[in-house]
Amino acid sequence: MKRKKKLLRQKPRLPFLLQLIRGGIGKEFVIKHYSYGAIKTKYPDMSRVTASARQRKCRNDFKEAVDFARQVIADPVLKATWQKRLRRRNGVYNEAIKVHMLKDQREKERSEILTDRMIRLAFKNEAAIENAEIICPTKISQNIRIPEVNYFMDTG
């Protein structure tokens, strides 16, 4: 049996000073570091790439979160109040981004909980009135009215 030879591509050696750099240099090329060494590649051309609607939404949300975090960091009093809530020494920026990104999700969950609570109370009140009407139908139906449930109330 013949043994297969491993085909190893020769990697071009980078100058020492370029091996110390990571990331893009201008818009010309990028220095990437892998386990086998550093390589120089062409800067990616993203002109033909179109982002989907969800990608644009996520990018805009993240941009707003970064702006919010920068505002928190810029105000020393606000930064100190955020720092009191954290156990880590330097995590205000990341925590502010996290809170802002999860804000919509938490508001949605809160509105679902409030809607469920309002529906449960409406059914509970309706059942209580029906039980009371069975016991004394004339007095209850004249004096008690069922409160209307406002599903779009401002939760503040």
Boundaries of every domain in the chain: 12-44, 53-101, 105-143
Averaged over 111-135, what is the pLDDT?
76
- pLDDT higher than threshold 80 for residue 141: no
More confident residue, 97 or 138: 97
Q: Provide, rounded to the nearest whole percent, the portion of the chain with pLDDT above 90.
A: 31
Please give the structure tokens belonging to residue 155. Answer: 């939760």
In the numeric block, the tokens 């720092």 are attached to 83
pLDDT digits (tens, 9 = 90+) for 18-59: 777 888 888 888 998 888 888 888 998 989 999 999 999 999
Give pTM, 2 decimals.
0.53
* pLDDT band (50, 70, 90) for residue 66: very high
Burial class (CB in 10 A: 0-12, 13-18, 19+), 132: middle
Report the sign of the C-alpha dihedral through residues 119, 123, 128, 130, in that order: positive
Per-residue confidence (pLDDT) for residue 24, from 0 to 100: 86
